[in-house]
Amino acid sequence: MEEMLWIMLLVCLASAFWQQRRQAELAWQYLRRYCKQHELQLLSVARSHRRLARRPLRLLTCYEFEFSSDGESHYLGTLTMQGLNVAGIDIPPHRLPGGG
């Protein structure tokens, strides 16, 4: 019986790791499309932290990303994901592409 518990624990850990990798890939794809649509250059993406949100109770994963609008300056934005879905994106004020 103890062996079965260890196997189940191992399967749960592998599943959590797989889900985390899938979420990171989806976050990267979403940010790549977002930056392309807004004429921004995506520089880097990294998972920042996880937090528990209330109303409704849910686990959110936050990714920080760097982007540039003019090729010279860079800015730090945040993408929040709930599971495999985007819950929100927050970017600071930045120069518009093309010097506008």
Q: Would you write out the chain's pLDDT as a tens digit for each of its 100 residues?
A: 788 888 888 888 888 888 888 989 999 999 999 999 998 999 999 998 888 888 788 889 999 999 998 888 889 999 999 888 899 999 998 887 665 5
DSSP one-letter string for the chain: -HHHHHHHHHHHHHHHHHHHHHHHHHHHHHHHHHHHHTT-EEEEEEEEEEEEETTTTEEEEEEEEEEESSSS--EEEEEEEETTEEEEEE----PPGGG-
The pTM assigned to this predicted structure is 0.80
